[in-house]
């Protein structure tokens, strides 16, 4: 019999998935929402629809999510605008995090990613733009999106520190870092979060996660439910079939069990998909199933 929730009727609370405290003063539920794709939300006719994007934001917050992850480059600024339009005035317990560190332009043919841009003057300019788009005076969590090989990492992180000293940023996080880069950032400021690619099939950031767990730093896995072509895919599919759940729901539950530092932020442009991801909070996996998944990942 399936124990997966499909009605979308239940609301997350502090006991459903637990909470995590970021920077000592931002306590959020341990299942957030990655807003990268919201500007691509479409109406029933298949046309991109900004109101549908706003509805998506309101839906996840109404379901109890109180941590949203954005970036200046998502939708070329539209992501932050949509969040502001949908949710202002913001609920008191809602944390909206955002990032800077890529060049804000369209991806050229042949590119798989925008090029990094970590110059301090760029970071400061983008912070002001993000504040305006989100309608905020202070960004609760501002993250260094990616190290720029053309700019000393100390200089890029230093710009975030200056923004914090100016009162525009409350806390600083980093993303796409290895242990050495994390150590550099921590030598300059208190780093309260790390956002690296991580899921049941891709665990190269385990050493970074171990530091985060040891030192009370929140770990935000990006691409948390993209499992294709990994050794864990078959094992996760089997567990999902036993529960009448989706592989994405099983992947989210595995992350929640993986570490108390983990704050999964699955994202989508589709309201129904967002509801299904949140329903993963009520999926109960046995110790035997979790052990099977761990073994599959390790293999």
Spatial separation of the C-alpha atoms in residues 175 and 100, rounded to whole Å: 10
Answer yes or no: is pLDDT of 2 > 50: no
- Token match 């733009």: residue? 129
Give the model's pLDDT for residue 109: 77
Spatial separation of the C-alpha atoms in residues 41 and 54, rounded to whole Å: 9
- Token match 């499992």: residue? 227
Other CB atoms within 10 A of residue 120 CB: 17
Spatial separation of the C-alpha atoms in residues 101 and 115, rounded to whole Å: 9
Answer yes or no: is pLDDT of 108 > 90: no
Spatial separation of the C-alpha atoms in residues 180 and 141, rounded to whole Å: 22
Query: What is the 3 state secondary structure string of the chain?
Result: CCCCCCCCCCCCCCCCCCEEEECCCEEEECCCEECCCHHHCECCCCCECHHHHHHHHHHHHHCCCCEEECCCCHHHHHHHHHHHHHHCCCCCCCEEEEEECECCCCCCCCCCCCCECCCHHHHHHHHHHHHHHHCCCCEEEEEECCCCCCCCHHHHHHHHHHHHHCCCEEEEEEECCCHHHHHHHHHHCCEEEEEEECECCECCCHHHHHHHHHHCCEEEEECCCCCCCCCHHHHHHHHHHHHCCCHHHHHHHHHHHHCCCECCCCECCCHHHHHHHHHHHHCCCCHHHHHHHHHHHHC
Answer yes or no: is pLDDT of 123 > 70: yes
Q: Which residues pair with 144 in a beta bridge?
A: 100, 174
Say if residues 113 and 107 touch (Cβ distance below 8 Å). Answer: yes
Tokens of 224: 């948390």
pLDDT, tens digit, 9 for 90 and up, residues 19-48: 999 999 999 999 999 999 999 999 999 999
Answer yes or no: is pLDDT of 231 > 60: yes
Answer yes or no: is pLDDT of 5 > 50: no
Say if residues 195 and 143 touch (Cβ distance below 8 Å). Answer: yes
Spatial separation of the C-alpha atoms in residues 245 and 283, rounded to whole Å: 8
- Fold of the CATH domain 19-227+248-283: TIM Barrel (3.20.20)
Give the model's pLDDT for residue 296: 79
Does residue 74 have an active-site annotation? yes
First and final CA of the chain: distance in angstroms? 29
Distances in Å between the Cα of 122 and the Cα atoms of 116, 249, 273 are 11, 38, 35
**Across the chain, what does the average pLDDT equal?**
93
Boundaries of every domain in the chain = 19-227+248-283
Distances in Å between the Cα of 27 and the Cα atoms of 85, 95, 131, 220, 278 are 24, 9, 21, 14, 18
pLDDT-derived band at 112, boundaries 50, 70, 90: confident
pLDDT, tens digit, 9 for 90 and up, residues 272-297: 999 999 999 999 999 999 998 888 76
Answer yes or no: is pLDDT of 258 > 80: yes
Beta-strand relationship, 191-197 and 26-29? unpaired
Q: Comparing C-alpha atoms, which of 7, 26, 171 is closest to residue 92?
A: 26
Give the model's pLDDT for residue 1: 31
The catalytic position among 74, 90, 142, 153 is 74
Q: What is the CA radius of gyration of the chain?
A: 19
């Amino acid at each position: 019999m399936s124990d997966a929730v499909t009605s979308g009727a239940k609301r997350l609370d502090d006991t459903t998935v637990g909470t995590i405290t970021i920077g000592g003063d931002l306590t959020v539920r341990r299942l957030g929402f990655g807003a990268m794709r919201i500007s691509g939300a479409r109406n029933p006719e298949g046309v991109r629809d900004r109101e549908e994007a706003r509805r998506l934001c309101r839906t996840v917050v109404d379901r109890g999510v109180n941590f949203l992850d954005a970036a200046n480059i998502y939708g070329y600024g539209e992501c932050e605008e949509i969040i502001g339009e949908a949710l202002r005035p913001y609920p008191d317990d809602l944390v909206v995090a955002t990032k800077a560190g890529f060049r804000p332009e369209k991806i050229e043919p042949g590119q798989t990613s925008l090029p990094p841009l970590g110059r301090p003057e760029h970071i400061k300019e983008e912070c002001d733009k993000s504040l305006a788009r989100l309608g905020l005076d202070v960004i609760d969590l501002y993250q260094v999106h990616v190290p720029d090989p053309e700019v000393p990492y100390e200089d890029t992180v230093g710009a975030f520190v200056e923004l914090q000293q100016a009162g525009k940023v409350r806390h600083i996080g980093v993303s796409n870092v290895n242990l050495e880069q994390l150590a550099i950032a921590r030598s300059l400021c208190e780093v309260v979060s790390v956002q690296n690619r991580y899921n049941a099939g891709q665990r190269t950031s385990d050493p970074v996660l171990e530091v985060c767990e040891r030192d009370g730093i929140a770990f935000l896995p990006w691409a948390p439910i993209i499992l294709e072509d990994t050794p864990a895919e078959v094992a996760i599919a089997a567990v999902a079939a036993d529960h009448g759940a989706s592989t994405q729901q099983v992947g989210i539950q595995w992350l929640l069990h993986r570490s108390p530092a983990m704050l999964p932020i699955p994202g989508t442009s589709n309201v129904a998909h967002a509801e299904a991801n949140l329903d993963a909070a009520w999926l109960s996996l046995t110790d035997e199933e979790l052990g099977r998944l761990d073994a599959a990942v390790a293999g």
